[in-house]
Structure 1
Amino acid sequence: MWKVEDSCMEWLDKSPPSSVIYVSFGSLVVLSQEQVDNLDTALMNSNKAFLWVIKPSDGVSKDGVELPIEFVGETKERGLVVKWCTQEKVLMHPSVACFISPCGWNSTLETLVTGVPVIAWPFWTDQPTNAMLIENVFRNGVRVNIAKDGTASAEEIERCIRDVMDGPRAEGLKKKAMEMKESAQKALKGGTSNKNIDQFISYLIIAGNPARA
């Protein structure tokens, strides 16, 4: 839907392994200015490198959402903001350490197959359920706690970044993310995923030609 900015891949190539926070809220979620401000404060205070995807409708546009000049100035040496990117390639890049995501199902699957820990920040539909799976079932990430007014504070986002990047739980989260990656790869190579699709195809063939039954 939007032009991919390939410059982000060149930028990632120059970054150390497992050093970059990848931030993207997909094609539907639009953050309020307050949430953008809280997120940029958290990223600025984290002192970590980051790649932040802000699609065109999140920039200086009819929505009136923009990044503060101070934030852009103070983080220009360790941060990159782009309008759109190829998410699969970004998540597969070795410099990416974690993904701040609203946890749509497509993004959730992509984190599982690439072994990237998640900072889950859900908004609607299936996202809260997927975030619950990430935190409690897959255990490959943490979930942002949302206040009663529906916002996530800068302090809360910072807490999640610390947990995933260099806190006491960081190593365990990374290990679990890699275990999920290995399980996903096995499922695609003759595992349950292949078996289920083969069974489904066989069912369709038989249903369409009862004589084969």
Structure 2
Amino acid sequence: MAESLQKPHAIMIPYPLQGHVIPFVHLAMKLASKGFTITFINTESIHHQISTAQPQNNPIRDDIFAGARKSGLDIRYATVSDGLPLGFDRSLNHDQFMECILHVFSAHVDELVGKIVRSDDPPLTLLVADTFYVWPSTIANKYNLVNVSFWTEPTLVLTLYYHLYLLRKHGHFACHDKRDDTIDYIPGVRSIEPTDLMSYLQATDVSTVVHRIIYKAFKDVKKADFIICNTVHELESETISALHQKQSTYAIGPVFPNGFTKSTVATSLWSESDSTQWLDTKPHGSVLYVSFGSYAHTSKHDIVEIAHGLLLSRVNFVWVLRPDIVSSDDTDFLPVGFENQIKDQGLIMTWCCQIDVISHPAIGGFLTHCGWNSILESIWCTLPLICFPLLTDQFTNRKLVVDDWKIGINLCDRKVVRRDEVSIKINRLMHEKTSEDLRNEIRKLRKTLENALAADGSSEKNLTQLIKDVKAKIQKRQGHATWQRDNPLANHA
């Protein structure tokens, strides 16, 4: 019994999107290095995509943590059905996919957790689930697990969802005559414009499947024992402190792989191309990296205008273009002859290891969709940003980057993307005085991240405190369970 108390066993379940899987994997490695046993669960679909993206003879095709275990980490790996067949196109049929995550997925998780509880050693004591899931408190209560909610985006986004009832009450969300004045009543948020809210909170139709997930998930998170955030306390101190007063919240980010090098664990959903040889031929800081992430879509018009803008700018670029960036059934979206026109100015890839590319000395800036992983990685590599938010938290992340931290600029000041403006903004980021101002600010933020991850830094201290608090909570739970078992009449008293 004493041994099981000393070695917590956590089951970790990321949301089935690459941007969520990546920080979950790195957190699993971090907790395992601190003495935890981890059982990491991917959906069968995510596992299939990751394994298919690997070379045929790679042992991690079956178990992505095979390499991590060789280094002595106690990480087991399993998969679970999300309720849909492997061949189902989740990108093209987004709403059906989300309906399954909302209604069907929890039954499969319940069955798997039950099996692990009955068979595993050390005993399962802890659930670390993505905050966007609607079921963690139910599963945690059923199996007497400590419930840790892992939030993979900025705390600003979390606290806006957390206080959805205030936005509704004040008429900034889900109202017929929605207010468009500044929002200044959310605890820990000085002020925010309605146009900087997440896309789902700006929507007119608030009855979609994603909205129903949001309503349930952010009701459920309030039942968690602990919330952990992939952010740094110093970057969002007021927001984190205000939330911590309501519920135990720990900033433990940025959750990166050791040494900010390519992870030993595969997380990519597509085969990665290597751009090193091409980048080696380019001057230091001369290349713009362009990527719109693993999930969000944009229009053919926007891709065409950005393509022409890149050409007009004459700046060297590496552009990561997923085949489904417009949609799964429209893969012909570049201007006619574009790949011949770019000659040696640009390199287009379907996918890459982003950490490898942006840490190359030739990269000098990043045109991004404002995904949170991309922002944290850019700060670490001191790359200023051109922001082109497409979906969900990206609009709020843009506010942090451009308005609050001054480490980036907007791609377009109007609603419509235009090639001439794209060209101007690229040159502003890469060459003009604006560029140096942005770089000065981002160097300061890089230092903040470094300090947070140091042995006496805020993130490292918060992680240590979290582990101590989790172990105390496990002991309390196990002690209570033992008492109940020894006193069967107590429940009927």
TM-score w.r.t. length of structure 1: 0.90
Return closer, same or farther for 1:96/1:82 CA change in 2, 3 Å cut-off: same
Q: Deviations over 1:110-166 (max 9, x none)?
A: 111121111010012100111110012221111123534xx3211222232122111
The 5 Å alignment of 1:13-162 reads 13-58=280-325, 62-145=329-412, 147-148=414-415, 151-162=416-427
Please give the alpha-carbon distance, in whole angstroms, between the structure 1 residues aligned to 2:393 and 2:326. Answer: 26
Which of 432, 437, 440 is matched with 1:172 structurally?
Answer: 437
Cα displacement (A) at 1:179? 1.9
Q: Structure 1: which 5+ runs fail to align?
A: none
Q: Which residue type is aligned with residue 22 of structure 1?
A: Y
Q: Which residue type is aligned with residue 270 of structure 2?
A: W
Cα displacement (A) at 1:12? 1.0
Return closer, same or farther for 1:146/1:170 CA change in 2, 3 Å cut-off: closer
Return closer, same or farther for 1:69/1:186 CA change in 2, 3 Å cut-off: same
Which of 461, 464, 467 is matched with 1:198 structurally?
Answer: 464
Cα displacement (A) at 1:172? 0.9
Task: Tell me, yes or no, if structure 1 residue 3 matches structure 2 residue 262.
Answer: no
Percent same amino acid among aligned pairs?
32
Please give the alpha-carbon distance, in whole angstroms, between the structure 2 residues aligned to 1:58 and 1:103. Answer: 15
Q: Which residue type is aligned with residue 45 of structure 1?
A: L
Deviates more, 1:64-73 or 1:194-203: 64-73
Q: Which residue type is aligned with residue 112 of structure 1?
A: I
Secondary structure at 1:56 match in 2: coil
Q: Deviations over 1:9-51 (max 9, x none)?
A: 2211221110001001111123322111100111001011000
8 Å CA contact 1:101–1:120 kept in 2: the answer is yes
Deviates more, 1:19-28 or 1:162-171: 162-171
Q: Structure 2: which 5+ runs fail to align?
A: 1-268, 477-493
Count of aligned pairs between the two proteins: 207
Q: CA RMSD in A?
A: 1.8
Greater RCO structure (CA 8 Å; 6+ sep):
1
Please give the alpha-carbon distance, in whole angstroms, between the structure 1 residues aligned to 2:326 and 2:344. Answer: 20
Match of 2:475 in 1: 209
Please give the alpha-carbon distance, in whole angstroms, between the structure 1 residues aligned to 2:408 and 2:328. Answer: 32
Secondary structure at 1:163 match in 2: helix
Please give the alpha-carbon distance, in whole angstroms, between the structure 1 residues aligned to 2:366 and 2:388. Answer: 10
Return closer, same or farther for 1:122/1:61 CA change in 2, 3 Å cut-off: closer
8 Å CA contact 2:270–2:351 kept in 1: the answer is yes
8 Å CA contact 2:320–2:351 kept in 1: the answer is yes
Q: Which residue type is aligned with residue 468 of structure 2?
A: S
Q: Which residue type is aligned with residue 388 of structure 2?
A: W
Q: Which residue type is aligned with residue 5 of structure 1?
A: S
Please give the alpha-carbon distance, in whole angstroms, between the structure 2 residues aligned to 1:72 and 1:134. Answer: 31
8 Å CA contact 1:45–1:158 kept in 2: the answer is yes
8 Å CA contact 1:60–1:66 kept in 2: the answer is no
Cα displacement (A) at 1:62? 2.2
Structure 1 residue ranges, 4+ long, deviating more than 6 angstroms after superposition: none
Q: Which residue type is aligned with residue 272 of structure 2?
A: V
Please give the alpha-carbon distance, in whole angstroms, between the structure 1 residues aligned to 2:305 and 2:382. Answer: 27
8 Å CA contact 2:320–2:350 kept in 1: the answer is yes
Return closer, same or farther for 1:58/1:130 CA change in 2, 3 Å cut-off: closer
Please give the alpha-carbon distance, in whole angstroms, between the structure 2 residues aligned to 1:26 and 1:166. Answer: 25
